[in-house]
Amino acid sequence: MSLLAQNVLANLIGRGWTGIVGLLCIPLYLRFMGIEAYGLVGFSATLQSIFGVLDLGLGITLNRELARFSVQEGKLDEQRDLVRTLEVIYWLVSLLIGVMVVLLATPIRQYWIQPKGLSAGTVESAVRLMGIIIALQFPFSLYQGGLMGLQRQVVVNGVLVVMGTLRGLGAVLVLWLISPSIQAFLIWQIVVSALQTATTALLLWWGLARSAGRPRFRMGLVSEIWRFAASVWANAVIGVSLTQLDKVVLSKLLPLDKFGYYVLASTVAATLWSIIIPLNTALFPRFAQLLELRDEARLADLYHRSCQLMAVALLPVAATGALFSRELMLLWTQSPETADNTYLVVSLLILGTTLNGLASVPGYLQFASGWPQLTMYTNLISAIILVPAIAFMTSHYGAPGAAMVWVALNSGYVLITVPIMHRRLLRGEKWRWYIEDVGLPLGGALIVSLIVRLFLPDGLSPAIVAIYLVTTLLLLMVASGLLAPQVRSATLSRVRRVREVYSA
């Protein structure tokens, strides 16, 4: 198995496992803490994403630089010095973030969050604990980016599996055995965040090649990468605005329980990132290497194979989730009230996230080439209209209105950004992307899923519904896989090799 294939598989296992653990634990969180407390959990995740932009683009820059250094000679000392320099910057920013959130806990409680059943003291103490979590979790993205750039993605995902299990199942045990409160939940997250960041830091330093000198803080190294980092950072600021501003605005506009339902729906749609991110994080350093080597033929081949693999992996799950959202929410939460309050938002958020995922491989190619400005400008235009659009749609259509804005924004990536990209990178490959990489597997998934949806009977038991949905997912995987040329070819080739081994 190639290193790229190992990395993709490891990323899928790591993200998939943590996603599954999280989904299994959420109904228990709701049972122990209630929907309002879960709304605070969602608010904490939103804060982490917002403050994550203060990494100034340095995490993904370290990923790219270490990948480039890996195909160059004489860069050992520079690698270690770059990691030390960015590490110091990250921890200073982490301290600033933690202090800021703790100090702002009272105004956040007074002017933003709208609880019904939770006391003001509970909300305020929870926000302070969120500040500590964010400060401890923030440097993890730097160490993770460094390990990714070194192609140590199996190691990273080993950490994610262990820590994700501790984070989820450990929280359930804490709520069950110690205290069913939001404070107990957040204190456990502090413990796991500290352990995860420390473990990843040690693994990165152990993974760097040894040299005679000690790593040094060299601000001059930042001056060499600041242009790319600044572009990545600007794009990240706008990107986080697009993915998190809906929750920021809705946490103000909606009561905490209604916001909790929106967070729950967002969590379901976010499971698609367990497919999108693993493939892209494995591809990014390989894209950077091929671009550095100026090997356009191999780059184009990898690009189309990856886009088709993304479509085949993503579309069956997305179609099943979007068309059977009420059945899935009822199976998962065992609550008709929760299913009724979330299923439409789930469908819309899944649709928007799927569009984002289909356009993500072209986006990562842009970043690997050192050209993040296209996505940045597209995102900037979208961000300008985002807040008024969400406010207007929410006031008229509630939470589903905000989800419709997410669909519209991501349609722009597929219809506008990708064609512009192909005028500069991999020229002449645009229509192949639309037809072979996306169109054919999308057509197969849609046709089969709509037929199956029409024939779903009413009044089935939960067990039969679960079997029906699993069967649907498998049918969609077969349909989209057969219609994706490179995925079909690779699969048939492997089948032939297996036959030859057994026939021999």
Tens digits of per-residue pLDDT, 258-305?
A: 888 888 898 889 889 888 987 887 787 788 888 878 888 889 999 999
Residues of the chain falling short of pLDDT 50 = none
| Burial class of residue 472, CB neighbours in 10 A (0-12, 13-18, 19+) | buried
Percent of the chain with pLDDT over 90: 32
Which pLDDT does position 2 carry in this prediction? 63
The phi, psi pair for 71, rounded to 5°, reads -110, 20
DSSP secondary structure code for residue 425 in this structure = S
Q: Using alpha carbons, select from 434, 439, 438 the residue that is nearest to residue 419.
A: 434
- Mean pLDDT value across the chain: 84
Which pLDDT does position 318 carry in this prediction? 95
Which pLDDT does position 16 carry in this prediction? 78
Q: In degrees to the nearest 10, what's the CA dihedral of 48, 51, 54, 60?
A: 30
Which pLDDT does position 486 carry in this prediction? 87
Three-state secondary structure call for residue 116: coil
46-95 pLDDT, tens digit per residue, is: 888 777 766 666 666 777 777 666 555 656 667 777 788 888 888 888 89
Q: Using alpha carbons, select from 152, 155, 154, 149 the residue that is nearest to residue 66.
A: 149
